[in-house]
Amino acid sequence: MATAVTAPTAEAAVTEFWDGLVVGASLATLDGDAGYGAIEDGALGWRDGRIAFVGRRRDLPGDPERLADLVVEADGGWITPGLVDCHTHLVFAGDRAGEFEQRLQGASYEEIARSGGGIVSTVRATREAGEDALLAQSLPRARALLADGATTLEIKSGYGLDLDGERKMLRVARRIGQSLGVDVRTTFLGAHALPPEYTGRADDYIAQACNWLATLHAEGLVDAVDAFAERIGFTIAQTRRVFEVARALGLPVKLHADQLSDGDGAALVAGFGGLSADHVEHTSPEGVRAMARAGTVAVLLPGAFHVLRETTLPPLAEFRAQGVPMAVATDCNPGTSPLLSLRQAMQLACTHFRLTPEEALRGATVNAARALGLDDRGALRTGLRADFVHWNIARPAELCYWLGGPLARAVYAGGHRLS
């Protein structure tokens, strides 16, 4: 049992009248390096979008009704930090269900991509969609993630692959956050694939993408920079050029690294002090050590692993041995991970990668926040954002046990109830 946070005095509580207070649920605070940080019969108070009290109900500095404008009797269940989906591509037009059928008939992801499918097919549909239409198609996906406990979303560009298309995607990502009342972190992924008009001229395309990055950053649309370093993506040298521009602009970097082969992607992003290396199924021991030295998070994407029926596991033992934090995300995208539940991604991480339920929950909260460079969320601690979920469960492991189904009773972001 974790020790409760020291309660404020009754005088302080009256002076700082809280906006809301939930009592009567167990709390999985995740406040510490190990364990759930469990508090039974807990209380969680918030003010001005920040957590003001977390501890046992009996340690409240007075009667609940005298402490907050809104008092919610939880009547059981568990409260966890809000989930953080740190890797999504949820802004896109169309779908790629046909490719799903092709893969079931034996076609590989690389074969589909080289024959004109894959990312480039989504680029065509996304370029053709107007901004409002793109928003209308993307909002339901975002709502589905929020309904299952996500309170922070990362959204990448990368399906425009020209200046107007990338700008449109990033603008839609910002509008999603404004429409739904959640924090959306935007990532420029211009180096996602080579568009048809640049066939055979990858270096020229990278030069243009670097120019677009500077323009879009100046417009306030970019929080971080990503790239796809892979045999069917971009070389390490080309990726390095993008990262050097990002560094000059003061933007953090992350990378789709070592998904299909060991291309030294994890070591490259770690060399830039990157926030995360994502996928990492083929990352070498040297790459793991580089990530450990740099503090780079390993973002596990079991949805893509599942859909592509991959068999090579990420180097999980090495990550644990080297102390590399492991995050879990949906990789929500139309081709390889049409996954609309971060909780389901946690379940897949346990099933395919043998993460413990605690590791999976930390991966979707504390470590996912770290993968976005955010230190103000991911745990239940005074002073952090009041992002939390009240779950209809008897123990935290149930979040990774149930295959689907509605478990979230209420989802709060910044102290405001979303659902």
pLDDT > 90 fraction of the chain, expressed in percent and rounded: 88
The answer to whether residue 12 is domain-embedded is no
The CATH code of the domain that includes 44 is 2.30.40.10
One domain, residues 68 and 110 = no
One domain, residues 352 and 385 = no
At 10 the pLDDT is 37
Top-confidence residue, 6 or 200: 200
The answer to whether residue 4 is domain-embedded is no
The answer to whether residue 5 is domain-embedded is no
- On the question of pLDDT at 14 being above 70, the answer is no
Q: Is 262 annotated as a binding residue?
A: no
- On the question of pLDDT at 1 being above 50, the answer is no
Top-confidence residue, 291 or 13: 291
Top-confidence residue, 81 or 111: 81
The answer to whether residue 191 is domain-embedded is yes
Q: Is 258 annotated as a binding residue?
A: no
One domain, residues 141 and 205 = yes
One domain, residues 71 and 217 = no
Top-confidence residue, 343 or 106: 343
At 5 the pLDDT is 38
Top-confidence residue, 96 or 248: 248
Q: Is 336 annotated as a binding residue?
A: yes
pLDDT tens-place string over residues 351-399? 999 999 999 999 999 999 999 999 999 999 999 999 999 999 999 999 9
Which pTM does this prediction carry?
Answer: 0.94
At 402 the pLDDT is 96
One domain, residues 204 and 307 = yes
Q: Is 259 annotated as a binding residue?
A: yes
One domain, residues 319 and 355 = yes
Q: Is 352 annotated as a binding residue?
A: no
The mean pLDDT value for 8-30 works out to 76
- On the question of pLDDT at 3 being above 60, the answer is no
At 15 the pLDDT is 47
One domain, residues 134 and 269 = yes
Q: Is 256 annotated as a binding residue?
A: yes
At 46 the pLDDT is 98
The answer to whether residue 131 is domain-embedded is yes
The answer to whether residue 2 is domain-embedded is no
The answer to whether residue 320 is domain-embedded is yes
The mean pLDDT value for 213-223 works out to 98
One domain, residues 174 and 296 = yes
3-state SS, one letter per residue, for the chain: CCCCCCCCCHHHHHHCCEEEEEEEEEEECCCCCCCCCEEEEEEEEEECCEEEEEEEHHHCCCCHHHCEEEEEECCCCEEEECEEECCCCCCCCCCCHHHHHHHHCCCCHHHHHHCCCCHHHHHHHHHHCCHHHHHHHHHHHHHHHHHCCEEEEEEECCCCCCHHHHHHHHHHHHHHHHHHCCEEEEEEEEECCCCHHHCCCHHHHHHHHHHHHHHHHHCCCCCEEEEEECCCCECHHHHHHHHHHHHHHCCCEEEEECCCCCCCHHHHHHHCCCCEEEECCCCCHHHHHHHHHHCCEEEECHHHHHHCCCCCCCCHHHHHHHCCCEEECCCCECCCECCCCHHHHHHHHHHHHCCCHHHHHHHCCHHHHHHCCCCCCCCCCCCCECCEEEECCCCCCHHHHCCCCCCEEEEEECCEECC
Domain count, the chain: 2
One domain, residues 314 and 211 = yes
pLDDT band of residue 7 (cuts 50, 70, 90) is: very low
The answer to whether residue 1 is domain-embedded is no
Q: Is 87 annotated as a binding residue?
A: yes
- On the question of pLDDT at 148 being above 70, the answer is yes
One domain, residues 279 and 348 = yes
Q: Is 412 annotated as a binding residue?
A: no
Q: Is 96 annotated as a binding residue?
A: yes
The CATH code of the domain that includes 240 is 3.20.20.140
Q: Is 205 annotated as a binding residue?
A: no
The mean pLDDT value for 11-33 works out to 83
Q: Is 278 annotated as a binding residue?
A: no
* Domain assignment of residue 334, given as a range: 83-372
Among 356, 372, 388, residue at a domain's last position: 372
One domain, residues 290 and 302 = yes
At 12 the pLDDT is 39
One domain, residues 309 and 399 = no
Lowest mean pLDDT across 42-56, 103-117, 289-303, 397-411: 103-117
